[in-house]
């Protein structure tokens, strides 16, 4: 400690006093000195102290001058380095052939010595202390490996990966053209194996000449599917089939290249029909210049929501979305430049550029209303969802639906009139906004998604008479903004596009259950940093079988007693969880009658679960398979999943916590931001401060009075000057009048 000497030369000596919290009023003299500095060493303790100091100057004239009081906080700082694995694992192997992988890692401490070990690995695999993995796999399969690197300075790092081991292999190659012989680029050719023992995924895109090739394919019988990435062609099963039942099997033999060509039909051959209607307000007054959009239903839902017996008749567009995600990452990515909605970069206006429900693609057709509120469109035959929006009014889907998952599907088979919309005007209340992003929980990259914000009702009643759900899309790097939200508590659902599992916003990570979702309170404010983490689907369980069933209930939210009969519950999310891995292999959305299909499943045993806002959950077991002789899919049809309306009404007031809690930040390690959750059983003054390894204050996140309840605070890895901090270990400390807790976190770039 240092202090300033009073003016002149009138100081005889200084007295230094110290107090130790919590007994802050009892100061003890610890030194007298002629110097204007003091070095004080805290005692060795597992609980670091907090000291208060002040200094008295004894003047030559007999008077005493007293300094201000300072607070010094001490921390037990572990001398732990940060270890990072820099090598990429080898993820493929061949039965009977030696497999090697050299693990490489670095430490933030150049003097650290690293040791390598594997805590989880297949039989026969060995790893030496320098990180060289050796193994000769005996049989085909998918094998999990967990490598841990230990540092002599206390740090460690993990790397988990899977090795796909194949046996003798062959290949498939060919060309994709239209019916005139013109090559088609950006078509994904996907194989579905009939071997029930192994569920490998094989696919490849066509190049500018329409050519593709897939090598190292395990021997066996497959079905092939061509999925165009542009909406002007129809997808197809080999050879010219529209369903799995009529698809021609392909036999892959050892060291043989099988030629598989496709001729795709243009959508121009599909009949075109007219659709018309009006857009008015609730008093039937026509709305001029209202925007109407018809979106291909499977494009909108990221799921076929098909009522046909064969799911393969209707695409779910997940391959298209996966490729678009890859384009977005290549052109900008979550930490690179911001990619505009149309992506641009020479891509033109094709269907990789815009995934919005009302965006600019061949899957979306739009119109504006005239002065009488009328509109008309020409649409190809097919299934659509329709929405209307006007300035000063809430956006609504057809048939007065606000929730995307429950939006009516319009099956267009003829010229259709009276697809009308009645929009509710904004109420004179304070509107707010929720902003955030959708992030891949594994890669930490942004994920393009549909976003649905659900407003909780008070005792099952809506006193504001406003829509229950609010829908928007993220941009190309996963950022979103839900605007025009009336006051209330919301839960936010991300419906990620591509092969991802839907997830609600939850401060502790991904969750499929609406009951676990973290509430977000909006009251004329903008709530930022609502990051939703989503999990990739299990891709090793891809197949062409399916699970079918229905979701029903004899109770309805807000109703009294039971209904006379069970009814189908539309807009429910139904998940197929592979029992062997515990991961979601697929999901579907229920139709108007409550029916569902979970598609693209390999043979196996699955737990089928349902999640629907305001309802309980239900589950059952399903075992889809293939015919061992013909290879035809044998879907598993399950008994109806019966769910009940939530017994306890959802209140806007959150349940008060019973004690003080400081949770571990999530994610951890993190980059570029993390969230800190804490609970207060009573209102009071609270501070939440970030410190570095030296115990220096980096950033004050909270310093004020907070209400009782659960609170979430986001930290972006920057200090009080808004400068980005380097990778390393940091501490966050929560303090109230009668509670203190500190936890450790790692910023890793």
pLDDT digits (tens, 9 = 90+) for 592-626: 889 999 988 888 899 999 999 989 899 999 999 88
Is the predicted pLDDT of residue 258 greater than 80, yes or no? yes
**CA 569, CA 398: separation in Å to the nearest integer?**
18
Coil, strand or helix at 652: coil
pLDDT digits (tens, 9 = 90+) for 44-100: 666 677 888 889 988 887 888 888 888 887 766 666 888 999 999 998 888 888 999
pLDDT digits (tens, 9 = 90+) for 477-493: 899 999 999 888 899 99
pLDDT digits (tens, 9 = 90+) for 687-729: 999 998 878 899 999 998 888 776 778 888 999 888 888 888 8
pLDDT at 331: 47
The mean pLDDT value for 200-212 works out to 88
Task: Identify the CATH assignment for 11-73 out of 2.60.40.10, 4.10.320.10, 1.20.1250.20, 1.20.1560.10.
Answer: 2.60.40.10
The mean pLDDT value for 330-342 works out to 37
pLDDT at 45: 66
pLDDT at 428: 76
Q: How confident is the model at residue 348 (pLDDT cuts 50, 70, 90)?
A: very low
Which of the two residues, 534 and 333, has the higher pLDDT score?
A: 534
Which of the two residues, 218 and 553, has the higher pLDDT score?
A: 553
pLDDT digits (tens, 9 = 90+) for 395-437: 999 988 999 998 988 988 899 999 999 998 888 778 899 999 9
Q: Which pair of tokens denotes residue 297?
A: 């239903």
Is the predicted pLDDT of residue 290 greater than 90, yes or no? yes
pLDDT at 181: 93
Terminal alpha carbon distance of the chain: 35
List the one residue out of 651, 563, 572 whose CA is nearest residue 615: 572
**173 burial level (CB within 10 Å; 0-12, 13-18, 19+):** middle
List the one residue out of 620, 618, 561, 549 whose CA is nearest residue 588: 549
The rounded radius of gyration (Å) of the Cα atoms in the chain is 31
The four Cα atoms 266, 269, 271, 273 give a dihedral, to 10 degrees, of 60
**CA 728, CA 694: separation in Å to the nearest integer?**
12
pLDDT at 335: 32
List the one residue out of 344, 189, 368 whose CA is nearest residue 293: 368
**CA 21, CA 26: separation in Å to the nearest integer?**
9
pLDDT at 336: 31
Ramachandran quadrant class, 600 (left: phi over 0; alpha: psi -120 to 50; beta: rest): left
Coil, strand or helix at 313: helix
pLDDT digits (tens, 9 = 90+) for 508-518: 789 999 999 99
The conformation of residue 401, written as its DSSP 8-state character, comes to B
Which of the two residues, 382 and 128, has the higher pLDDT score?
A: 128
Please report, for the chain, the start and end positions of each structural domain, with discontinuous segments joined by +.
Answer: 11-73, 83-166, 169-269, 272-306+363-425, 318-356+427-536, 541-642, 661-747
Is the predicted pLDDT of residue 473 greater than 90, yes or no? yes
Indicate the average pLDDT of the chain: 83
The mean pLDDT value for 334-347 works out to 33
CATH fold label, 83-166: Immunoglobulin-like (2.60.40)
**CA 376, CA 390: separation in Å to the nearest integer?**
16
Helix %, strand %, coil % of the chain (to 5): 5, 45, 50
**CA 612, CA 591: separation in Å to the nearest integer?**
13
Cα–Cα distances (Å) from 705 to 2, 555, 735, 736, in that order, read 33, 43, 12, 10
Cα–Cα distances (Å) from 44 to 41, 74, 76, 460, in that order, read 9, 11, 9, 57
Q: Would you tell me how many other CB atoms lie within 10 Å of the CB of residue 664?
A: 14
- Looking at the structure, give the CATH architecture of the domain made up of residues 169-269: Sandwich (2.60)
**CA 476, CA 338: separation in Å to the nearest integer?**
8
The mean pLDDT value for 540-558 works out to 82
Instruction: Encode 468-493 in three state secondary structure.
Output: CEEEEECCCCCEEEEEEECCEEEEEE
The mean pLDDT value for 148-170 works out to 87
Cα–Cα distances (Å) from 149 to 158, 515, 670, in that order, read 6, 38, 19
**261 burial level (CB within 10 Å; 0-12, 13-18, 19+):** middle
pLDDT at 221: 86
Please tell me the pTM assigned to this model.
0.65
The mean pLDDT value for 630-644 works out to 88
The mean pLDDT value for 178-204 works out to 82
The four Cα atoms 243, 247, 253, 258 give a dihedral, to 10 degrees, of -100
pLDDT at 352: 58
The conformation of residue 43, written as its DSSP 8-state character, comes to P
- Looking at the structure, give the CATH architecture of the domain made up of residues 272-306+363-425: Sandwich (2.60)
Cα–Cα distances (Å) from 573 to 40, 261, 397, 445, in that order, read 62, 36, 19, 24
Count helices and strands (H / E) in the chain: 2, 58
pLDDT digits (tens, 9 = 90+) for 649-674: 333 344 455 578 787 777 777 888 88
**CA 328, CA 632: separation in Å to the nearest integer?**
37
Q: How confident is the model at residue 467 (pLDDT cuts 50, 70, 90)?
A: confident
pLDDT at 323: 66
State percent of the chain over pLDDT 70.
86
Assess contact for 508 and 677: CB atoms under 8 A. Answer: yes
CATH fold label, 661-747: Immunoglobulin-like (2.60.40)
pLDDT at 327: 55
**CA 351, CA 185: separation in Å to the nearest integer?**
13
Listing DSSP states for 231-243 in one string gives: TTB--EETTTBSS
**119 burial level (CB within 10 Å; 0-12, 13-18, 19+):** exposed
Is the predicted pLDDT of residue 287 greater than 90, yes or no? yes
In CATH, what number does 541-642 get? 2.60.40.10
Is the predicted pLDDT of residue 340 greater than 50, yes or no? no
Scanning 332-477, the segments in alpha helix (DSSP H) are none
In CATH, what number does 318-356+427-536 get? 2.60.40.1120
pLDDT digits (tens, 9 = 90+) for 560-572: 456 667 888 989 9
């Amino acid at each position: 400690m240092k202090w300033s000497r009073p003016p002149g030369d009138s100081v005889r000596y200084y007295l230094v006093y110290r107090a130790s919290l919590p007994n802050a009023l009892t100061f003890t003299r610890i030194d007298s000195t002629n110097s204007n500095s003091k070095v004080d060493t805290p005692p060795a303790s597992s609980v670091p102290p907090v000291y208060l100091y002040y200094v008295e100057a004894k003047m030559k004239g007999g008077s005493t001058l007293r300094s201000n009081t300072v607070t010094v906080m001490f921390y037990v700082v572990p001398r732990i380095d940060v270890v990072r694995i820099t090598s990429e694992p080898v993820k493929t192997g061949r039965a009977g052939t030696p497999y090697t992988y050299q693990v490489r890692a670095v430490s933030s401490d150049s003097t650290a010595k690293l040791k390598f070990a594997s805590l989880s690995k297949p039989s026969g695999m060995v790893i030496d202390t320098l990180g060289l993995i050796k193994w000769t796999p005996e049989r085909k399969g998918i094998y999990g490996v967990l490598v841990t690197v230990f540092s002599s300075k206390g740090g460690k790092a993990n790397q988990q990966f899977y090795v796909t081991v194949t046996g003798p292999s062959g290949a498939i190659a060919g060309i994709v053209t239209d019916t005139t012989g013109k090559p088609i680029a950006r078509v994904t050719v996907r194989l579905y194996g009939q071997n029930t023992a192994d569920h490998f995924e094989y696919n490849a895109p066509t190049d500018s000449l329409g050519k593709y090739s897939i090598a190292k394919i395990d021997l066996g019988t497959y079905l092939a599917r061509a999925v165009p990435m542009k909406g002007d062609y129809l997808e197809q099963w080999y050879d010219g089939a529209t369903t799995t039942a009529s698809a021609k099997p392909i036999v892959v033999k050892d060291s043989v290249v099988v030629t598989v060509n496709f001729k795709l039909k243009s959508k121009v051959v599909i009949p075109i029909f007219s659709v018309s209607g009006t857009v008015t307000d609730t008093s039937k007054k026509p709305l001029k210049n209202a925007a109407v959009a018809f979106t291909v239903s499977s494009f909108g839902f990221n799921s076929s929501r098909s009522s046909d017996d064969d799911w393969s008749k209707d695409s779910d567009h997940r391959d298209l979305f996966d490729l678009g995600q890859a384009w977005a990452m290549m052109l900008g990515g979550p930490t690179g430049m911001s990619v505009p909605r149309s992506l641009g970069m020479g891509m033109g206006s094709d269907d990789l550029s815009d995934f919005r429900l009302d965006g600019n693609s061949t899957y979306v057709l739009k119109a504006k209303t005239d002065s009488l509120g009328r509109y008309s469109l020409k649409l190809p035959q097919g299934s659509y969802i329709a929405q209307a929006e006007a300035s000063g009014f809430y956006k609504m889907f057809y048939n007065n639906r606000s929730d995307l998952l429950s939006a009516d599907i319009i099956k267009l088979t003829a010229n259709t009139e009276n697809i009308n919309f009645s929009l509710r005007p904004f109420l004179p209340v304070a509107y707010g906004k929720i902003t955030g992003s959708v992030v891949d929980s594994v890669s930490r990259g942004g994920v393009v998604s549909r976003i649905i914000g659900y407003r909780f009702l008070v005792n099952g009643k809506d006193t504001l008479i406003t829509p229950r759900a609010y829908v928007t899309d993220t941009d190309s790097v996963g950022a979103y903004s839900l605007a025009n939200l009336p006051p209330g508590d919301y839960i936010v659902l991300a419906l990620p596009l591509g092969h991802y599992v839907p997830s609600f916003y939850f401060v502790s990570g991904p969750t499929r259950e609406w009951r676990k979702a973290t509430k977000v309170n909006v009251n004329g404010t903008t709530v930022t940093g609502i990051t939703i983490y989503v999990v990739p689907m299990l891709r090793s369980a891809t197949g062409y079988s399916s699970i079918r069933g229905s979701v029903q209930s004899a109770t309805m939210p807000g109703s009294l007693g039971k209904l006379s009969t069970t009814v189908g519950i539309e807009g429910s999310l139904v998940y197929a969880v592979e029992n062997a891995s515990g991961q979601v292999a697929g999901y579907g959305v229920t139709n108007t009658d409550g029916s569902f299909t979970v598609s693209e499943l390999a043979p196996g045993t699955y737990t089928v679960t349902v999640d629907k806002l305001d309802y309980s959950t239900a589950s059952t077991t399903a075992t889809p398979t293939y015919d061992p002789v013909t290879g035809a899919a044998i879907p598993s049809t399950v008994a109806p999943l019966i769910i009940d309306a939530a017994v306890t009404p959802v209140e806007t007031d959150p349940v008060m916590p019973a004690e003080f809690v400081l949770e571990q930040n999530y994610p951890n390690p993190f980059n570029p931001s993390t969230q800190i959750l804490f609970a207060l059983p009573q209102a009071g003054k609270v501070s939440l401060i970030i410190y570095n390894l030296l115990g220096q204050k980096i950033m004050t996140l909270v310093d004020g009075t907070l209400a009782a309840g659960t609170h979430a605070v986001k930290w972006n890895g920057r200090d009080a000057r808004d400068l980005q901090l380097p990778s390393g270990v940091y501490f966050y400390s929560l303090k109230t009048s009668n509670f203190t807790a500190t936890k450790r976190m790692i910023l890793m770039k």
